[in-house]
Amino acid sequence: MNVEQLVGRCLRLQQELSNASRAQPWHSARIDRLADDLAAAEQELARLQTGREPSHGPAAMHPPSTSRLMTR
């Protein structure tokens, strides 16, 4: 998929996830699948936009900037 297609897929999945989370009763398997599909699409989009390979897991996360944290 190209960037434009992935953006469209992300938007569609976000809408579906929003609709599924508002539905009562919740269909947790559907919500989980949509969330997983959205995460995968967002990772692929980020990879295409940056030209980098995706990182996985907590070790790949960047720590938050402490300059915005307020301390007393």
* pLDDT, tens digit (0-9, with 9 covering 90-100), for 26-59: 899 999 999 999 999 999 999 998 876 555 544 3
Answer whether 13's CB lies under 8 Å from 41's CB: yes
Structure tokens at 32: 């989980």
Angle at 4 between CA 44 and CA 49, to 5 degrees: 45
Q: In sequence order, which residues have a C-beta less than 8 Å from that of residue 54 and are 6 or more positions away?
A: 43, 44, 46, 47
Question: Model-level pTM?
Answer: 0.67
DSSP 39-61: HHHHHHHHHHHHTSPPP-SGGGS
How sure is the predictor about 1, in pLDDT bands with cuts at 50, 70 and 90?
A: confident
More confident residue, 70 or 43: 43
